[in-house]
Amino acid sequence: MGDAIQSSDIFKTDAYVNGKWQPSRTRFDVTNPATGEILAAVADLSRDDVKVAIDAAAAALPNWSKRTAKQRGDILRAWADLMLAESDRLAQLLTLEMGKPLAEAKTEIAYGASFIHWFAEEARRVYGDIIPGHQVDKRILVLKQPIGVAASITPWNFPNAMIARKVAPALAAGCTFVARPSELTPLSALAMAELGARAGIPAGVFNVVTSLDAAGVGKEFCENPIVRKLSFTGSTRVGQILMAQAAPQIKKLSLELGGNAPFIVFDDADIDAAVDGTIIAKFRNAGQTCVCANRIYAQSGIYDEYVAKLTARVAQLRVGEGLGEGVEIGPMITDAALKKVRQHLDDAVEKGATVTTGGKPAAQGGLFFQPTVLSGATAEMRLAAEETFGPVAPVFRFDTEEEVIAMANDTEFGLASYFYARDMARIIRVMEALESGMVGINTGLISTAEAPFGGIKSSGLGREGSRYGIDEYLEMKYACLSI
Ligand code: ADP
């Protein structure tokens, strides 16, 4: 199956700059995390090459931003339609370079395309205001204009959708764009560029700069005054670096950073539904999403029942290569990721947690790890404070609502949180008290193009998706008109 993809016309290994495929003197390998097999040698652009891409985006800006919103939207729609038409091959490519199960890869392609469709429509709804004047001869006009050239840095865990969520609102707003995909998963981004070209995105409007030099490209995006906006998804550590680097130019940033999501199951919850929700919120992408449940809190009255039911379900999850039939848990992305999972697990067991299922490297070896449930988790364990980013579900016990809210909020992060309960007054109290940008109530899956995705506290700045998402790529201008 891999060979067929490698000879297909969406398999691109050069960078995409100013409407052309750009080779480079040096290249870097992209490997399949399930097998260690090298999939491609991709162009490794230098910081100077990235400058050229930024210049191309600047040159393309006047024409693109002056088109009507409908013209831009039509191209975006055609792009998303092509992605859906090619979703089988895009999903295979994504699974090969990233490892997630093919079914999840297909869902990601549909999810990415849904943002492009959404912002194709939102392009036409960038409304301004006319405000009654403060003096009889004054009228106050508010207009929204594209911010200019925008850039993105994205991680490996959603190689398609993380880019789609950023480029779609940018292009809809009239911005042009330079994307730097993760060095671990550039092939999905390059395939998107190919389909974008087919859909009619003009040269220079969407550029993909593949490079091993993440820090150098990050500096260029921050220091080059042509770039007016940088949107980053990744760790809080790198988000802090970028924010500091962007400070001298007061550059606009969107930051979607780490999370440490609590998942709370109250005594009055539907336990079976809560177990279903946990499987999605914890084990999707083998636990490698920023909104993954990291700390599961179960109330004393249902603790044993919940742990038993969760354990039974998790024990049945099928581990394997993402392209395999019925596989639910793929490999970890890298050795470092696997090592962190093992360290968190060992630390928890040392401090008194009990493994109820899993807990070991999976039979497949390599980067595969068994989906794991831990009972008896406590606040002293590393996994209470840090994102594990793997298939380990630690269950903490709590007695009262006040206690669990305090525990849930006892973190520098505030991206997603989840809880299961039936009592309506409790649902409202807890929804309001949780310190996070997003709350899933009786559901473990909250991401959708219609809703504002983003975090508070150290989880970031700005929102992606919804009618608010396009504002990240617009500047508001107020004009005072004297008549
Ligand atoms: P993760 O742990 O999810 O990989 P990172 O923040 O390390 O999160 O990586 C997210 C993205 O940021 C990746 O594309 C990575 O290459 C890139 N990156 C890493 N270090 C830097 C840096 N110093 N400046 C800019 N981008 C960086």
Residues in the chain, total: 483
Q: Report which residue type is found at 165.
A: R
314 neighbors 306 (Cβ within 8 angstroms): no
Instruction: Give 4's pLDDT tier (boundaries 50, 70, 90).
Output: confident
Task: Please state, in angstroms and rounded to a whole number, the distance separating the CA atoms of residues 412 and 405.
Answer: 14
Q: Which atom of ligand 1 has the smallest separation from the CA of 237?
A: 6
CA of 236 to the centre of ligand 1 (A): 10
Give, using CA atoms, the residue closest to atom 2 of ligand 1: 235
Helix, strand, coil share of the chain (percent; to 5): 45, 25, 35
CA distances (Å), 435 to each of 75, 375, 381, 415, 444, in order?
Answer: 39, 25, 21, 8, 17
* 157-178 confidence digits (pLDDT tens): 999 999 999 999 999 999 999 9
Instruction: Give 2's pLDDT tier (boundaries 50, 70, 90).
Output: low
* 460-472 confidence digits (pLDDT tens): 999 999 999 999 9
Q: Report which residue type is found at 45.
A: L
Please give the backbone phi and psi of residue 182, each rounded to the nearest 5 degrees, phi first.
Answer: -60, 145
CA of 191 to the centre of ligand 1 (A): 21
The preferred substitution site among 47, 50, 153, 340 for testing ligand 1, maximizing ligand atoms within 8 Å of CB, is: 153
240 neighbors 270 (Cβ within 8 angstroms): no
| DSSP, res 1 | -
Please give the backbone phi and psi of residue 410, each rounded to the nearest 5 degrees, phi first.
Answer: -80, 65
Average pLDDT over residues 43-63: 98
Name the one residue in this structure whose structure tokens are 């997603």.
416
Q: Which atom of ligand 1 has the smallest separation from the CA of 241?
A: 23
CA of 402 to the centre of ligand 1 (A): 37
255 CB contacts (<8 Å, ≥6 apart)?
Answer: 232, 233, 239, 242, 243, 460, 461, 462
pLDDT of 151 higher than 60:
yes
HSE, side-chain direction, 13 A CA sphere, residue 132: 1
Q: Report which residue type is found at 339.
A: K
Give, using CA atoms, the residue closest to atom 9 of ligand 1: 234
Give, using CA atoms, the residue closest to atom 24 of ligand 1: 215
Task: Please state, in angstroms and rounded to a whole number, the distance separating the CA atoms of residues 373 and 353.
Answer: 10
Structure tokens at 229: 């906006």
CA of 201 to the centre of ligand 1 (A): 27
Pocket of ligand 1 (CB under 6 A): 153-155, 182-183, 214-215, 218, 234-235, 238, 241
What is the residue-wise DSSP string for 425-474?
HHHHHHHHHS-SSEEEES-S----TTS-B--EETTEE--BSTTTGGGGGE
Nearest one of 408, 412, 416 to 452, comparing CA atoms: 416
Q: Which atom of ligand 1 has the smallest separation from the CA of 333?
A: 4
Instruction: Give 357's pLDDT tier (boundaries 50, 70, 90).
Output: very high
Q: Which residues are catalytic?
A: 256
pLDDT > 70: percent of the chain: 99
HSE, side-chain direction, 13 A CA sphere, residue 410: 12
Give the ranges where 200-334 is alpha helix by DSSP (H): 214-223, 236-246, 271-283, 300-315
Give, using CA atoms, the residue closest to atom 27 of ligand 1: 214
Average pLDDT taken over every residue of the chain: 97
* 267-292 confidence digits (pLDDT tens): 999 999 999 999 999 999 999 999 99
Structure tokens at 14: 């050069």
3-state secondary structure labels for all residues of 363-399: CCCCCCECCEEEEEECCCCHHHHCCCCCCEEEEEEEC
194 neighbors 186 (Cβ within 8 angstroms): no
Helix H or strand E segment including 30 = strand 27-31
The preferred substitution site among 157, 217, 238 for testing ligand 1, maximizing ligand atoms within 8 Å of CB, is: 238
Burial class (CB in 10 A: 0-12, 13-18, 19+), 130: exposed
Give the sign of the dihedral formed by CA 147, CA 151, CA 156, CA 160: positive
Task: Please state, in angstroms and rounded to a whole number, the distance separating the CA atoms of residues 208 and 133.
Answer: 45
Give, using CA atoms, the residue closest to atom 7 of ligand 1: 235
Average pLDDT over residues 236-245: 98
Average pLDDT over residues 96-109: 98
CA of 153 to the centre of ligand 1 (A): 7
pLDDT of 12 higher than 90:
yes
CA of 299 to the centre of ligand 1 (A): 37
Q: Report which residue type is found at 137.
A: D
Nearest one of 12, 195, 36 to 116, comparing CA atoms: 195
Task: Please state, in angstroms and rounded to a whole number, the distance separating the CA atoms of residues 430 and 217.
Answer: 42
Average pLDDT over residues 18-46: 98
